[in-house]
Amino acid sequence: MPYEIVIGLEIHAELNTKSKIFCGCKNEFGGEPNSNCCPVCLGMPGTLPVLNKEAVIYAIKAGLAMNCRISEVSKMDRKNYFYPDMPKAYQVSQYDIPLCYDGYVEIEADGQTKNIGIERIHLEEDAGKLMHDPNGQGTLIDYNRAGVPLIEIVTRPDIRSPKEARVLFENIKSILEYTGVCDCQMQEGSLRADVNLSVRPTGQETLGTRTEMKNLNSFRAVERACEAEAKRQIELLEKGLKVVQETRRWDDSKQESYPMREKEESLDYRFFPEPDLVPIVVDKTLIKNIKASIPELPGARKKRYINELEIPAYDANIITSDMKIADFFEEATKVCSNYKLVSNWLLTDLLRLVKEKGQDVMQKLTAQKFGELMVYYDKGEISQASAKKVLDIVSETGEEPGSLIERLELKVQRDENLVESIVKKVVQDNPKAVSDYKSGKTKAFGFLMGRVMAQLKGNGDPEQIKRLLTRELKSLME
Amino acid sequence: MNIYSRTIKEINKMLINREIGAVELTRYFLDNIKRKNKEINCYITVCEDKALRKAEEAQKLIDSGENISPLCGIPYAVKDNFCTENIRTTCASKMLENFIPPYSATIVNKLEEKGAVILGKLNMDEFGMGCSSENSFFGPVYNPWNQEYVAGGSSGGSAAALAADLAGFTLASDTGGSIRQPAAFCGVVGLKPTYGLVSRHGLIAFASSLDQAGPMTRDVTDCAIVLNEIAGYDPMDSVSVRKGFENYLDGIDRGVDGIKIGMPEEFFNTDFAPEIKEAIFKAAEELCQHGARSYEVSLPSVKHTVPCYYIISSAEASSNLARYDGIRFGYRNPDARNLDELYKFSRSEGFGKEVKRRIILGTFALSSGHNDKLYSKALKVRRLISDEFKNILEKVDCLVAPVYPTTAFKAGGDNCKDPLKMYLSDIYTAAVNLAGLPALTVPLGLDSKGLPIGMQIIGKAFCEKLLFQVGHAIEKIAGRIIPGVKS
Ligand SMILES: [Zn+2]
């Protein structure tokens, strides 16, 4: 029986604010354990939260970028549960009135474009981290992360394949990066996803029983976890068994999921409005200002690259998926308007360098210099081989491409008289090759061309040399 | 020189006129504490060294001849649920027996800046839960008027310290009557300000949406003096209200001519001590003789006050007190073998019986399946009560009401053994917290047992001035009462 997979994602993103959500502590990753805490984020008796306005603005920004409506009045609520990483034993979150609701994100997967609904985006605080005491048997707690502002993005169950889940997660990451809302350092946990998945026989209206997998922190993990879980659920149904509604933990290294202990999922959070904070009132001017501060988003950029710059869709997709690359591309095309050339070089040679030498390469190189180099190449002033050489050196040293080309004498030599005199000399100096050519051995022409190119230190224009050499040999044969 | 039971205003004058020095004055109170605290048990912690140091600093300020605050050099004490930097802050709980905060409550800082001299920390019902100050890990507080009786609660220590002359004024907090009831039991003046007027930062939360800090003083003028110094917006407390400075002493002796006083029938129709009823009617009558007019008014929803108050306050408390888990601060059971045991043992042993009762009640009220019938419903009732007060207070300027069904009751009696009876007695005070309004307790003399009778005046939000004005008039009529001094 064919089955349909139904997936919804809950994505947690740490906001890129300067300070934590309710206190003045810096919002920073890492540092000595418990070096970045204060009485407020440690939940000490008598302390009170003060909501960081920047966090509200970032959350709204994310909402607007995902086409959400913004609640004019929303509130914070307390989610009560005991766990040592939660200093107050409750998390301040939003329960029934989220800051943003009813939006969508466009995805393109398996050759189709569709919108995935965003049910809500709400604001909340992150918890600390538990770690095992390396010197003993106990558990240690680092509260540096406690009170870092988070948004939770909850999609509607509109996703129909593991691939779509992955693409949606990728698109949301790009949007968060473009808007500057989140730094999206997934290995540091600043962006992570929970997956809700169910299957049903194709054509069936009602949803199947769903399971949840928590804290997936890579695109691949999301896709794989969805594939494995869909397979597991279908196999159960095929055997006539039932899917149990539960929370499962995905182990990406083993490519398997396990049910979490029942206790962890049967919590009653006893939500109620946070009495220490006043309602969040968002006026229209603020929304307007935030809207104005949102840059062109990846989807729109991609469309523009394809339609206006005539970049192939595949290339446009890769460029826009990473804002740093897209911005680099945009800058470079301000210098060199051969968009396709810039895009080709960026996707092959530049990304190769980034892969080999790391992100620093782009800072050394700069889009400006990259664009200048492309201009030299585009005008035929340097050869492809020289352009590659210059790219390699500039990305190491940051030298100006122009002065480097001068210094290494890489400019293509097109002086007609000079090239002609070299051609003449080469013909004179290589009588054997000339006679071979005359007797019909065409290979000899290539040899002679190579000689000329060598005389020009590789900086000759092959077309010009070919033309002049053909003329010279022809004149000899007449 | 006789400084027994002098008001802030009087002491301030003596300090300025060099009739007494700030250090001498502080020593007077410290000596009183040494002599009497054993019987009254109103202090949990006395900070003698700090007090003397502060007194010396205050004396320097006085000697500088500059314009000093009326609280400069005045010794005061603080209910032990306000955080005080480097001074143990216990909430009268075993849970916080050894908790020394690295910060002070905003209002403690404000008083410090004004040169007031902190004497120590005052006993109370554990975490503010109770009405007799007998629910304290540090033992009960006894009433200075008669030590067989309780001082009231939860701010029993704050009221008793004043009545026994162990402080010039005190700070307290009121969640459902915790300032007004002990003030009535001990014959002092106590103000529960409008919610949001005084910062809660550093006040260890019981029920955040109801808790309000306020002063206890010997008379109404002193109360206005202290409120002048502690009121105002605090960026550290998001619910504190941005409001310009208002001098609460202005017009305090204007009298009550033309003031409209409401007497809620739902309060006066209840069963409470006839002597209290008589005293309040007499006071109202005399106010009318001075130009006020009294009206019988109705607040139909206040009959739901007690369940509504206990659901909301316990729900918030269950969440506010969850942080005492034995992990970061406070009592930690040493024998726990795993996380569950650590929570269970630390909280079972660290909290007293009444606190645990409220936590269980509140957890239940918020739990899924009960939330709709309890917590959510209580929020709706709260809105009703609040609206009724608001509407009535558009027709009259203030309301007068009893504070508690009785005067101080016997210590160790069954009041504490029957929680339901105890809870029901909060009917007159808790509605005011639900509505977020200000209310002032003033003494009306003594009953036949020689125990103080109190009355509360309830006003519109942020109309504390009018309460002082009416309170001042009553004070003039009823006179001050001082233990050991015939009035
Ligand atoms: Zn902090």
Among the listed residues B136, B154, B173, B301, the single catalytic one is B154
Q: Could you report the per-residue pLDDT of B24-33, keeping only the tens digit for each?
A: 999 999 999 9
- Say how far apart CA B124 and CA B92 lie, in whole Å: 6
State yes or no: pLDDT of A11 exceeds 70: yes
pTM for this model (two decimals):
0.91
Asked if A80 and B83 come within 8 Å (Cβ–Cβ), the reply is no
Does B359 lie at the interface with A, CB-CB under 8 angstroms? no
Query: What does the DSSP assignment read for B214-241?
Result: EEEESSHHHHHHHHHHHBS--TT-TTS-
Asked if B319 and A272 come within 8 Å (Cβ–Cβ), the reply is yes
Supply the range of the domain harboring residue B444: 1-487
Does B103 lie at the interface with A, CB-CB under 8 angstroms? yes
**B8-16 and B220-230 helices, crossing angle to 10°:** 80
Asked if A278 and B238 come within 8 Å (Cβ–Cβ), the reply is yes
Contact predicate B411/B160, CB 8 Å: no
Q: Provide, rounded to the nearest whole percent, the portion of chain A with pLDDT above 90.
A: 67
State yes or no: pLDDT of A8 exceeds 60: yes
**A462-477 and A431-438 helices, crossing angle to 10°:** 80
Name residues whose C-beta falls within 8 Å of residue B260's C-beta, 6 or more positions apart in sequence: B292, B293, B294, B295, B395, B396, B397, B398
Quote the minimal CA–CA distance from A253 to chain B in Å.
29
- Beta strands B75-79; B169-174: pairing state: parallel
Please classify residue A129 by burial: count the beta carbons closer than 10 Å to its beta carbon, then call 0-12 exposed, 13-18 middle and 19+ buried.
middle
Residue A345: pLDDT band (50, 70, 90) is very high
Mean pLDDT of B443-458: 97
CATH code, domain with B479: 3.90.1300.10
Q: Closest Cα partner for B120 from B71, B48, B57, B199?
A: B48
E strands, A86-181, where? 90-93, 100-109, 112-125, 129-132, 139-142, 149-155
Asked if A268 and B368 come within 8 Å (Cβ–Cβ), the reply is yes
Annotation says B298 is catalytic: no
Asked if B201 and A39 come within 8 Å (Cβ–Cβ), the reply is no
Q: Could you report the per-residue pLDDT of A64-88, keeping only the tens digit for each?
A: 999 999 999 999 999 999 999 999 9
Alpha-helix runs per DSSP H in A106-239: 162-179, 219-238
Does A140 lie at the interface with B, CB-CB under 8 angstroms? no
Residues of A in contact with B340 (CB under 8 A): none
**CATH class of the region A416-477:** mainly alpha
State yes or no: pLDDT of B217 exceeds 60: yes
Asked if B208 and A276 come within 8 Å (Cβ–Cβ), the reply is yes
Chain centre to alpha carbon of residue B203:
12
Q: Could you report the per-residue pLDDT of B256-298, keeping only the tens digit for each?
A: 999 999 999 999 999 999 999 999 999 999 999 999 999 999 9
Nearest to B201 among A48, A268, A275 (CB): A48
Does A82 lie at the interface with B, CB-CB under 8 angstroms? yes
Nearest to A82 among B236, B238, B322 (CB): B322
E strands, A246-389, where? 247-251, 256-259, 272-273, 280-281
Does A450 lie at the interface with B, CB-CB under 8 angstroms? no
Among the listed residues B178, B313, B318, B425, the single catalytic one is B178
Does A90 lie at the interface with B, CB-CB under 8 angstroms? yes
pLDDT at B380: 98
Alpha-helix runs per DSSP H in A66-206: 162-179
- Say how far apart CA A64 and CA A292 lie, in whole Å: 10
Asked if A272 and B105 come within 8 Å (Cβ–Cβ), the reply is no
Nearest to A51 among B83, B91, B238 (CB): B238
Residues of A in contact with B328 (CB under 8 A): 42-44, 87
Does A268 lie at the interface with B, CB-CB under 8 angstroms? yes
State yes or no: pLDDT of B440 exceeds 70: yes
- Say how far apart CA A429 and CA A427 lie, in whole Å: 6
Mutation target to probe the A interface, by most A beta carbons within 10 A, among B319, B346, B368, B379 is B319
Does A141 lie at the interface with B, CB-CB under 8 angstroms? yes
Q: Could you report the per-residue pLDDT of A121-153, keeping only the tens digit for each?
A: 999 999 999 988 777 778 899 999 999 999 999
Residues of A in contact with B339 (CB under 8 A): 84
Asked if A84 and B82 come within 8 Å (Cβ–Cβ), the reply is no
Mean pLDDT of B305-312: 97
Quote the minimal CA–CA distance from A55 to chain B in Å.
16
Asked if A48 and B83 come within 8 Å (Cβ–Cβ), the reply is no
- Say how far apart CA B220 and CA B468 lie, in whole Å: 6
Residue A456: pLDDT band (50, 70, 90) is confident
Average pLDDT over chain A reads 92
∠ CA B227-B228-B231, nearest 5°, is: 65
Asked if B328 and A45 come within 8 Å (Cβ–Cβ), the reply is no
CA distance readout (Å), A223 to A66, A168, A171, A175, A226: 22, 11, 14, 19, 5
State yes or no: pLDDT of B484 exceeds 90: no
- Say how far apart CA A349 and CA B202 lie, in whole Å: 60
Quote the minimal CA–CA distance from A140 to chain B in Å.
10
Annotation says B318 is catalytic: no
User: Scanning the structure block, which residue is given the tokens 């955080």?
Assistant: B83
User: How many structural domains are present in chain B?
Assistant: 1
- Say how far apart CA A50 and CA A276 lie, in whole Å: 8
Kindly give the distance from the C-alpha atom of residue B161 to the centroid of ligand 1, in angstroms, as a whole number: 36
Residues of A in contact with B239 (CB under 8 A): 275-278
Mean pLDDT of B362-377: 95
Kindly give the distance from the C-alpha atom of residue A14 to the centroid of ligand 1, in angstroms, as a whole number: 16
Mutation target to probe the A interface, by most A beta carbons within 10 A, among B203, B320, B376, B383 is B320
Where are the domains positioned within chain A?
A: 3-286, 296-407, 416-477
Q: Could you report the per-residue pLDDT of B218-237, keeping only the tens digit for each?
A: 999 999 999 999 999 999 99
Annotation says B487 is catalytic: no
Average pLDDT over chain B reads 96
Q: Provide, rounded to the nearest whole percent, the portion of chain B with pLDDT above 90.
A: 93
SS3 A12: strand
State yes or no: pLDDT of A115 exceeds 70: yes
Residue A409: pLDDT band (50, 70, 90) is confident
Pick the residue with more confidence: A144 or B485? A144
Nearest to B238 among A89, A270, A276 (CB): A276
Does A89 lie at the interface with B, CB-CB under 8 angstroms? yes
Q: Provide, rounded to the nearest whole percent, the portion of chain A with pLDDT above 70.
A: 99
Does B350 lie at the interface with A, CB-CB under 8 angstroms? no
Kindly give the distance from the C-alpha atom of residue A149 to the centroid of ligand 1, in angstroms, as a whole number: 12
CA distance readout (Å), B300 to A308, B4, B305, B308, B389: 71, 45, 10, 14, 10
Q: Could you report the per-residue pLDDT of A240-277, keeping only the tens digit for each?
A: 999 999 999 998 888 889 888 655 556 799 999 999 99
